[in-house]
Amino acid sequence: MPAAPRFSICFVCSGNICRSPMAEVVFRSLAADAGLADRVDVTSAGTGDWHVGEHADPRAVDTLAAHGYDGSEHRARQFDATWFHRLDLVVALDRSHERILKSAVTNDIDRSKVQLLRSFEHPRSDSLDVPDPYYSDHAYFGAVLGMIERADRALLAQLAPALRSSPQPQGKP
């Protein structure tokens, strides 16, 4: 019997060293806490290639650690449009990423996979963008992490019923 498919999600920001790695780490942790870690594949990437292969920004790693998350193993990579066929959801951290991602697809199915992270919040905030903390200080990384945590919780709350009702991956009780 083949393994049940896992829901595949990729968080995308500019360089994949601040926002998207934080969103990836937080979402993975929330999924694990909800008993859904075996139902999802969570990754992240950047729209640009500036930081490919680098660790996450030390301020992102420190902020994650201060809130009980481990982002120390992250390595930046650039999003590749050929990934769309294997992804169920591509989560953009701001509108510029959303535009870049949607311009890279050639069909409505892949275009519909691209969603803004904060669009999952209820009620929605005035701004759907998660601001880039790169040119700011540690405190701002903390504020951005708070936005990401709220939006990731809302996203997981929307996905959880479908994830729980999907067949268990092979070899799992």
Q: Whole domain around residue 101: which residue ranges?
A: 7-165
The pLDDT profile of the chain, 173 residues, written as one tens digit per residue, is 455 679 999 999 999 999 999 999 999 999 999 999 999 999 999 999 999 999 999 999 999 999 999 999 999 999 999 999 999 999 999 999 999 999 999 999 999 999 999 999 988 778 999 999 999 999 999 999 999 999 999 999 999 999 998 776 554 43
User: By C-alpha distance, which of 57, 61, 56 is closest to 75?
Assistant: 56
Please report whether residue 18 resides in a domain. yes
Q: CA quadruple 99, 163, 148, 41: dihedral positive or negative?
A: negative
Q: CA quadruple 65, 69, 73, 77: dihedral positive or negative?
A: negative
Can you give the pTM of this predicted structure? 0.94
Please report whether residue 170 resides in a domain. no
Please report whether residue 108 resides in a domain. yes
- Asked if residues 52 and 76 have their Cβ atoms less than 8 Å apart, the reply is yes
Q: Which residues are catalytic?
A: 13, 19, 132
Residue 2 CB contacts under 8 Å (≥ 6 apart), including other chains = 170
* CA pair distance 148, 130, nearest whole angstrom: 7
CATH number where 142 lies:
3.40.50.2300
* CA pair distance 148, 168, nearest whole angstrom: 28
Tally of structural domains, the chain: 1
Please report whether residue 173 resides in a domain. no
- Both structure tokens of 13: 């920001």
Please report whether residue 41 resides in a domain. yes
